[in-house]
Structure 1
Amino acid sequence: MMLSLAPVEPLPAQTLLLFLLQTGTLLGLAFLLGRLAQRLGLPSIVGELTAGVLLGPSVLAHTAPAASTWLFPHNTEQKHLLDAIGQLGVLLLVGFTGMHIDLKLARRHGRTAAAVSTTALLLPLGLGFLLGLALPADLKPSDVDPVIFASFIGVALSVSSIPIIGRVLVDMGLINRTVGQMILVVATVDDAVGWLLVSVVTALATTGIGPQEIATPLLHMAVLLLVTLTAGRWTVRRVMHWAGRSDSRGSTITAAVVLLVLSGAGAQALGFEALLGAFLCGILIGACDTGEQTARLQPLNAVVLAFLSPLFFALAGLRIDLTSLFHGTTALWALAVLAVAVASKFLGAIVGSRVGRLGRWEALAIGAGINARGVVQVVIAVVGVRLGLITTAMYSIIVLIAVITPIMAPPILKAAMKRVERMEEEMKRERRGHAVRDAREEPEEPVPSPRRD
C-alpha cells in the first residue's frame, strides 16, 4: 500500500516578509556605500562591509535597538535563510576567481613565483600560529583546541585575495607589468594552498587531533585532487564543450553553475568546505576556455558581482561587533594581529624575491600587492565563525584586517613601481592589451531589420 506524505508547510508570511526586507535593505545600502567607496578610490568591498556594520550590532543595535531587533531578530530560521543565499553567492564568486587563474603564466614564472609564494605563505602561517597561541583567553572559544585555533589564525593571516588584487592592478594600470603578473601568480598559489589548509583545519576541528584524525582529511584531500585531475577534468571539459555548442548563453551559464554547485557538494561530502570544490572546479572551467566561454558567462558574472557578492559581504559586516574590540586589551591585541599580518607578508615577499633574484623595489611592490587580503580573508573568517572556531571579537579583528590592507596597498605599489624600470616585453604586452580593448570597443555594423511585407 502506498502511503501519502503530508505536504510541507510553506514559509510563514512573516518570515518571508522579513527575508525580503533584510535582503533589500542590505543590498541597497551595500550598493550605495560600495559606489561611494569606489568614488573615494577604495575597493567596493569596503563599502559593502560597512553596510553590514551600520545595520549590525556595531551601530543600529545601539542607536535603534527596537528597529534592529525587529529587522534582524535572533531567529535561527531567519538567519539561515540569509546565510543560504550568502553561501551560494560566495561559492559562485570563488568559482569565478578560479576561472581567472592563468596556468600558463604560473608555469612561465614558476621558479621565482615558487620562491616568493613559499616564503610569503610560510612566514605569515608560522607567525600567525605563534600569535594564535599567545592570544588571551577572551579571544579564543573555550571549547576549541588551542592548536586548532592557532592553526586557523595562521591560515587566515597567510592568504591574499585575487579579486581585490586584480582590481587594484587594473585600476593602477599594472595588470600587464611583469611585477603585476607576478603578484597575481603568487596570490594564486597562496590562495590555492590556503584553501587546502582551511579545509584540513576545519576537518580536524570536527574530528579532533590524532594520527588517524590527521591522516583521514589528508587522504580525503588526495582523493579530491585525484578526482579533480582525472574524472573531474574530463567531465568539466565535456560538459562545457557540449554547452558551448548551443546557440543560447543560458546553456553555458547553467552548465557552469551546476558544475560549481555539485563540485562544492562533493568537497562538502568529503569533509571539506564547499568553497574548495568550487575553486578547483573554477580552475578546470577556466582551463578549457577558448575565449567565447568568458563572453557567454558574463551575464552570470554580472549577477554575482552586482547582487550575490555585495549581499554576502554585507552579511559578513552584519556579524562584526566593533564594540567587542573596546573591552580590556582587545584593541591592543587587534593592533598586534594587524602588525603581524602586514609585516609577515612583506617580509615573506622580500625574502622570496631576493631568492628569486628580483630587485628591492620589485620585492616591495610584490609585498604591497599580496598584502591585500579582502575577499578571501572575509570568506575564511565567515567559515571560522560559522563553525565556532573563532569568537566574534576575533572575527571582527580578521575582517578589519581584510578592510585595511586593500586600502594601504595602492600608495605603496605606486611609490615602488616608480622605481621599477619598464621592460620592452611589458610594453609589447600593453600594446596587445590596448589592441584587444580597441577591437572590442569598435561599434558593430548595424544588423538590418527584417523586411515586413
Structure 2
Amino acid sequence: MTAPTMLHADPVPTIDAHSLLVFLLQISVLLLLALGLGRLAMRFGMPIIVGELSAGVLFGPSVLHALAPGFSDWLLPPTADQMHLLDAVGQVGVILLVGITGIELKFGLIRRRGATAVRVSLGGLLLPLGLGIGIGYLLPSAIVPDGVDLATFSLFLGVAMCVSAIPVIAKTLIDMKLLHREVGQLMLASGVIDDVAGWFLLSIVSAMATSGLTQGGATRALLSPVAVVVVATLIKRPLVRRILRFANQSPDAAPTIATVVILILLVAAATHALALEPVFGALVCGALIGSSGELDVEKLVPLRTTVLAFLAPIFFATAGLRIDLTALVQPVVLLTAVVVLLAAIAGKFAGAYAGARLSRLGRWEGLALGAGMNSRGVIEVIVAMTGLRLGILDTNTYTIIVLVAIVTSLMAPPILRFAVTRLDREADESLRSRDRDRDRDGGSGASRGR
C-alpha cells in the first residue's frame, strides 16, 4: 500500500529579519519626511503633495544616493523584492485615496452648472489631449522608452497633460474662501468631468499597453471601461446600497469602514483583472458608494484621516523616489521637459478660457477657471506612476511628467488669486457705475420735477 500523497505544499517562508528591519525603517523615515516637508510646504502656501514628493526626492537617487551611496544602498537596496514591499503599501494607499475621491465627487454640481461646466471641461480636456498626442509623435526617439509603441506613448502623454486634480482644486478654493462662489462651484463641476474623463482615458491606454494595438485589443480597450460603468450603474448600485444599509445598522464606525474598504479593493481588483487600471475601479466604486444615499459620511472620518495622514504620504514619497533630477542635465531631457510643461499649461489655460468665453463668461472668470483646471497635482502623479508600472514611461519621462504636476500645482493659487482680485474689482466698478447712473437718473428726475 502506497503512502498517501501530500496535498499541500511546504509553507512559504516568512519575511527575513533584515528585510523586515529595512522595511520598517523605510516606512518610518519616508513618513517622517513626508509629513514634515508637507507641513513646511503648507506654511509657504504650497500644496502638501509638493512636500510629500520632495521627501522621496531627498530619500532617492537625486540626493541621498549622490551624497551617501553606501547608506542609500543599505536603506534602499536595489532589489525588486524589497521595493515591492513599499510599492504594495503605496498601491493600497492610492487605491483607497482614489476611492475616497470618488465618494466625494459632487455630480449634482454638473447638473446645476449644466452646459457651461461641460464646455469649460471639454475645452480644458481636448486641447491639451491633442497637444500631448501631437508632441508625443514629434519627440526625439531617444525620449521614447525602448520597446514602447509610439501611438501608446503619445496617447499616454496626452492623457497625462489633460487631467486635472480635484483635491488640489478643492483645497485651493477652500484656502481662498472661493468654494461657495459661482466661479468656485463651476471650477469644481468642470474638474469632476475632467477627472472622470481622465480616469476613463487612462484605463483605455492601460488596456492598450497590456493587450497591444491589434484591432481586437483596441476594441477591448474602448469597450471594457464602458462595460464597467454600465454594470456598476445597473447591477452594482442596488447591491452596494443594500450592503451599506446592512453595515450602517451598527452604531460603531468599524463595520462601515471595513465594508467601504472591501468594496473599493474588490472593484479595483475586478477592473485590474480586466486589464484596466485598479484606480479606475476604485473611482467607480467610490462614486457608487457616494451616490448610494446609504452612506453615513461621519463614520468614514477615521478612514479618511488614516489614508491622508499615513497611506497617501507613503505613496507620494515612494513616487518621489522614482524622480531623478540628474536626468535634467541631459539637454534633450531638459528641452523635452520645457516643451511638455509649456504645452500642458497653454493647452489647459487656452481650452478652459475658450470654454468659458463660449459660455459668455468674462475674461477674468475664464482666467480663474484656467488657473484652477491647470493644477494637476495628485492625479498626474498617479498617472505617472501608472505609466512607470506599465513600462510606458522610463525614469526620464516619469521625471518630466511629475515636474509638470508640481509646477502646475504651484502656479494655481497665485494666478487664481490674481484673477479673482481682478474679477472682484471689475464687479465693484460695475456696481459703482450702476450707482452713479441711478443717482444721475434720480437727479435728472428731480430737476424735471422742479
Q: Secondary structure at the match of 1:288?
A: coil
Residue among 333, 341, 351 paired with 2:354: 351
Query: Is 1:8 equivalent to 2:12 in the alignment?
Result: yes
Query: Is 1:278 equivalent to 2:282 in the alignment?
Result: yes
Residue 303 of structure 1 is matched in structure 2 by 306
Question: Which amino acid in the other structure matches residue 104 of structure 2?
Answer: H
Question: Which amino acid in the other structure matches residue 188 of structure 1?
Answer: V
Q: Residues 168-197 of structure 1: CA distance to partner in whole angstroms, max 9, x if unpaired? A: 111110110111111111111111111111
Q: How does 1:213-292 map to 2 (within 5 A)?
A: 213-289=217-293
Residue 393 of structure 2 is matched in structure 1 by 390
Residue 441 of structure 1 is matched in structure 2 by none
Tell me if structure 1 keeps the 8 A contact 2:167–2:378: yes
| Offset of residue 421 of structure 1 | 4.9
| Offset of residue 96 of structure 1 | 0.7
CA–CA distance in structure 2, aligned partners of residues 36 and 115 of structure 1 = 37
Task: Provide the alpha-carbon RMSD of the alignment.
Answer: 1.5
Q: Secondary structure at the match of 2:422?
A: coil
Q: Secondary structure at the match of 1:152?
A: helix
CA–CA distance in structure 1, aligned partners of residues 73 and 185 of structure 2 = 47
Residue 100 of structure 1 is matched in structure 2 by 104
Residue among 116, 121, 127 paired with 1:117: 121
CA–CA distance in structure 2, aligned partners of residues 388 and 5 of structure 1 = 34
Q: Secondary structure at the match of 1:109?
A: helix
Q: How does 1:3-152 map to 2 (within 5 A)?
A: 3-152=7-156
Q: Secondary structure at the match of 1:36?
A: helix
CA–CA distance in structure 2, aligned partners of residues 169 and 245 of structure 1 = 35
Structure 2: gaps of 5 or more residues = 428-450
Residue among 176, 187, 192 paired with 1:188: 192
Residue 430 of structure 1 is matched in structure 2 by none
Q: Taking every aligned residue pair, what percent have the same amino acid on both sides? A: 49
Deviates more, 1:281-290 or 1:223-232: 281-290
Deviates more, 1:203-212 or 1:32-41: 203-212
Q: Residues 301-353 of structure 1: CA distance to partner in whole angstroms, max 9, x if unpaired? A: 00000000011000000000000111133212211111000010000011111
Residue 449 of structure 1 is matched in structure 2 by none
4+ runs of 1 displaced by more than 6 Å? Answer: none
Q: Residues 61-85 of structure 1: CA distance to partner in whole angstroms, max 9, x if unpaired? A: 1110001111001111111111000
CA–CA distance in structure 2, aligned partners of residues 90 and 54 of structure 1 = 21
Residue 433 of structure 1 is matched in structure 2 by none
Residue among 299, 317, 338 paired with 1:314: 317
Q: Residues 45-98 of structure 1: CA distance to partner in whole angstroms, max 9, x if unpaired? A: 110000000010111111100011110011111111110000000000001111
CA–CA distance in structure 1, aligned partners of residues 401 and 251 of structure 2 = 45
Residue 206 of structure 1 is matched in structure 2 by 210
Deviates more, 1:407-416 or 1:271-280: 407-416
Question: Which amino acid in the other structure matches residue 63 of structure 1?
Answer: L
Tell me if structure 1 keeps the 8 A contact 2:109–2:188: no
| Offset of residue 100 of structure 1 | 1.0
Tell me if structure 1 keeps the 8 A contact 2:131–2:343: yes
Q: Residues 238-268 of structure 1: CA distance to partner in whole angstroms, max 9, x if unpaired? A: 1111111111100110010011000101111
| Offset of residue 210 of structure 1 | 2.7
CA–CA distance in structure 1, aligned partners of residues 228 and 101 of structure 2 = 19
Q: Secondary structure at the match of 1:271?
A: coil
CA–CA distance in structure 2, aligned partners of residues 75 and 210 of structure 1 = 34
Q: Secondary structure at the match of 2:331?
A: coil
Question: Which amino acid in the other structure matches residue 257 of structure 1?
Answer: V
Question: Which amino acid in the other structure matches residue 293 of structure 1?
Answer: D
Q: Secondary structure at the match of 1:139?
A: coil
CA–CA distance in structure 2, aligned partners of residues 126 and 383 of structure 1 = 20
Query: Is 1:326 equivalent to 2:299 in the alignment?
Result: no
| Offset of residue 288 of structure 1 | 2.3
CA–CA distance in structure 1, aligned partners of residues 102 and 425 of structure 2 = 29
Query: Is 1:166 equivalent to 2:170 in the alignment?
Result: yes
Deviates more, 1:54-63 or 1:327-336: 327-336
Residue among 362, 371, 374 paired with 1:368: 371
| Offset of residue 36 of structure 1 | 0.6
| Offset of residue 4 of structure 1 | 3.5
Tell me if structure 1 keeps the 8 A contact 2:23–2:86: yes
| Offset of residue 420 of structure 1 | 2.7
Structure 1: gaps of 5 or more residues = 425-453
Q: Secondary structure at the match of 2:142?
A: helix
Question: Which amino acid in the other structure matches residue 332 of structure 2?
Answer: T
Q: Secondary structure at the match of 1:390?
A: coil
CA–CA distance in structure 1, aligned partners of residues 210 and 99 of structure 2 = 25
Instruction: Answer with 1 or 2: which has the greater Rg.
Output: 2
| Offset of residue 423 of structure 1 | 13
| Offset of residue 404 of structure 1 | 1.1
- CA change 1:391–1:5 in 2 (3 A) is closer
Q: Residues 140-162 of structure 1: CA distance to partner in whole angstroms, max 9, x if unpaired? A: 11101111100000000000001
- CA change 1:422–1:295 in 2 (3 A) is farther
Q: Residues 216-252 of structure 1: CA distance to partner in whole angstroms, max 9, x if unpaired? A: 1223223211111011111111111111111110011
- CA change 1:271–1:423 in 2 (3 A) is farther
Residue 407 of structure 1 is matched in structure 2 by 410
- Give the TM-score taking structure 1 as reference length: 0.91
Q: Residues 277-301 of structure 1: CA distance to partner in whole angstroms, max 9, x if unpaired? A: 00011111111246x7111000000
Query: Is 1:157 equivalent to 2:185 in the alignment?
Result: no
